[in-house]
Each structure stands twice: as structure tokens, then as C-alpha cells.
Amino acid sequence: MGRRGKRLRSKLEALKAKVRTQAKEIYETHFKTAQATPRSTVAKLATIVAQIERACDKQCSRKDNSNWKLNLETALRELTVLLKDEKSVSAYEIHSSGLVQALLRLFAKNRRKFSWTNSNSCDKLLSERLGIFKSIIGVESTATALIRYYYFF
């Protein structure tokens, strides 16, 4: 094992260093700029997710719950427009944008850890959100597209 083992180990370490260097070069030339400027659809999805979150937070807050319905309706309409074209958004983009998590939080009964509302109030808030969702996303093709995207991911 003497010299031969050392030589083999140093060759292996040299190969690892070369692979690390090549991976870093590939990342710098190809992926760094792509990560900094995402596709327009991913940016739109991120905007929609933020709008959904803000609308739900406004609904739950005691101080400022004005226009939350309009904000939620706008976000959901933008989502339906984006999902109409099946080839514009991939399942990975939907998952990585946080849309699935935002929709799960939208359907959650209690959105806050320390809720000031009782159970009946939570039910009322949830039913209002669901009513808006059904009225806009209730279109069969959009709901089917959402399910298809998540199922194949």
C-alpha cells in the first residue's frame, strides 16, 4: 500500500478538485445569470403568490381588511390566465414558486398561530376565501390544469 496507495489517493483528490472547478465554472457561466433573472412566468407566479398571501393577511387582520377580496380575485384571475396555456408553466415552476404552499395556506382554517378569532369566525373567513376561489378557479379547465401540474410533479 505504501507509495501506490498515496498516489491513488492523490489522483482521486486531484480528480475531485478538477470536478469541483469545472462545476463552479459551469455554474458561473450558465446558471448564475439564469437564477438571478428567472423566466417571466416564474416571476409572474411569484407575484401571484405574494398577492394571495397579502389578500389573506388583510382578511385576517383586524385593522386593514379593505380590498382583500379584490386583491384575491385579481391574483386568481392572473393565475387562470397563466395556466390556460399548458406549455407556458412547468410543474417544477409551479412547485418551486411556492404556489402550492400559498394555496394550501389559502384553504387553511386558521391562518395564524395566535388567532384572535373563534372557530365560527375562522369558518366564516375560510368560506369567504373558498367562495372567491370557486367563483374564479371553478372553471373546469383551470382546476384540471392545477391538478395535472401537481400530479405529474
- The whole-number pLDDT of residue 115 equals 47
Same domain, 82 and 120: yes
Same domain, 134 and 65: yes
Same domain, 135 and 121: yes
pLDDT tens for 51-67 read 999 988 888 776 666 68
From the CB of residue 22, how many other CB atoms can be counted at a distance below 10 Å?
Answer: 10
Per-residue pLDDT band for 18 (boundaries 50, 70, 90) equals: very high
Same domain, 15 and 72: no
Contact yes or no for 32/48 (Cβ under 8 A): no
Regarding pTM above 0.85, the answer is: no
Same domain, 16 and 84: no
Question: Could you list the residue range(s) of the whole structural domain that residue 134 is in?
Answer: 38-152
Contact yes or no for 98/49 (Cβ under 8 A): yes
Per-residue pLDDT band for 128 (boundaries 50, 70, 90) equals: confident
Same domain, 92 and 146: yes
Same domain, 139 and 98: yes
Same domain, 5 and 72: no
Tally the domains of the chain: 2
Same domain, 109 and 53: yes
pLDDT tens for 99-111 read 888 988 888 876 5
Q: Quick check: 48 pLDDT over 80?
A: yes
CA 123 from centroid of its chain's CA atoms? 25
Task: Give me the amino acid identity at 114.
Answer: F
**8: number of CA atoms within 13 Å, CB side?**
5
Same domain, 83 and 139: yes
